[in-house]
Amino acid sequence: MLYIGVDLGTSAVKLLLMDEEGKIRNIVSKEYPLFFPHPGWSEQRPQDWFEQSMEGIRELTEECDKEEVAGISFGGQMHGLVALDKDDNVIRPAILWNDGRTGEETDYLNRVIGKERLSAYTANIAFAGFTAPKILWMKKHEPENFGKISKIMLPKDYLAYKLSGSFCTDVSDASGMLLMDVKNRCWSEEMLDICGITKAQLPALHESYEVVGTLRPGIAEELGLPKSVKVIAGAGDNAAAAVGTGTVGEGRCNISLGTSGTIFISSKKFGVDEHNALHSFAHADGNYHLMGCMLSAAACNKWWSEEILKSKDFAAEQSGITRLGENHVFYLPYLMGERSPHNNPDARAMFIGMSMDTTREDMTQAVLEGVTFGLRDSLEVARSIGIQIERTKICGGGAKSPLWKKIIANVMNMNVDVIESEEGPALGAAMLAAVGCKAYPDVETIAKKLVKVVDTVEPDSELVAKYEERYQKFRRIYPTVKELY
């Protein structure tokens, strides 16, 4: 049988067709526009997601036996606010994860409601990108639109609703709304009261691998697919990517070097760090995970190379870097503010330590090291609550750099495992579809069968010692310059 994974990203939807043995039969990508109606705002039209996904599914399944398609699932951009009225019309463009308009609402939640209460209700504190502050913003600034809300959903759940008619979400994606009691995997009554919404306006909660319905007859006919195709709940993009890299079960780790960067740690136990520096979310495997999220990771290297050096040859820029662990230049990777562990939207990037003999290579090296040190900040928070990680998987565009992988192995003092297929959330979504269709008994089983490690970058004890010294200096810079922001 065949399974479709849909990765609803910020710039495009990526669709993947996989068979039961994990072989990828086809991949299709369809772009859609992103709108910035005011400085700091970021919006999209949900109808664009749906239209491009439908077109993508038709193209994806063009050459296959459509009768073999058994299930479809999703990995999606998290935190976005999609609001529908009683007639299922989209009330306003979706407010996305990287939208920065909710500064006042975030401050209200963290300072007036209070971080301790938020953490007790949801296991997390408020960040500007989360969904609850967006609801409060809409309530204050667009009261007429707020009054029309019949359904609140996340981006990928809009697709599930259009395809199946099922008003649902999954626990991993819902964890990032600041509306869910993560520990008990249910909606938080207290948070609904704070936001002025009801449980009837929120989707039914499911595990990521659960079937939520089948294709609507009209949709099945339009796509040329069987009406029996199961629609599976899916997951937030990071949880779906973790499934695709086999980061499931107890004590597994994945580092993602995309535009943003994450360190994702799976756990069978629920846990929250003392200062809520890491996100504590439900995982797509039925368990939990901790996640540190940097807003600028590979984006830092892209900015440095393309905007400053005017070069798109990333490999050439890194080729002259040979003196690892000996760089005197430091870089703070906060181009767009920062989430984990500092939660400071006003933080900004900076270089420090240049001298007359500083080279182009030193600056490039500092960017790669700065992002890695930033990720280690989150790893140290996890270590502070007793989580010990000895190895990590790696994915994302930055993971194509052999040098960056070597830096990560030595800064983190961990083995870095490179996997065979790096298709991220789309692959994880297809795997969740296969579990939902009973091709595999659970998420851990399919991950063990399909995710193959093809290379491992090991730390070098001499480099580890050098980088330990460098990291201890790096971690003193942000507290020193924080007041300047």
Instruction: Give the residue numbers annotated as catalytic, written as ranges.
Output: 237
303 CB burial (10 A radius; 0-12, 13-18, 19+): middle
DSSP-derived secondary structure for 130-163? SHHHHHHHHHHH-HHHHHT-SEEE-HHHHHHHHH
Let me know: does 18 contact 427? Beta carbons within 8 Å.
Answer: yes
Q: Which amino acid is at 282?
A: A
Let me know: does 348 contact 485? Beta carbons within 8 Å.
Answer: yes
Pairing of strands 168-170, 204-206: parallel
DSSP conformation class of 270? -
Q: Is 38 annotated as a binding residue?
A: no
Q: Which of 301, 154, 314, 335 is nearest to 234 (CA)?
A: 154
Q: What angle do CA 245, 251, 257 make, to 5 degrees?
A: 40
DSSP conformation class of 459? P
Query: Cα(36)–Cα(391) distance, rounded to whole angstroms?
Result: 39
Q: Is 79 annotated as a binding residue?
A: yes
Query: Cα(398)–Cα(395) distance, rounded to whole angstroms?
Result: 8
If you count DSSP H runs as helices and E runs as strands, how many of each does the chain have, helices first? 17, 24
Crossing angle of helices 443-450 and 424-436, in 10° steps, is 130
Contacts (Cβ under 8 Å, ≥6 apart) of 293: 238, 260, 261, 262, 279, 339, 340, 378
Let me know: does 131 contact 179? Beta carbons within 8 Å.
Answer: yes
Which residues are annotated binding-site positions for substrate?
Answer: 78-79
Which residues are annotated binding-site positions?
Answer: 78-79
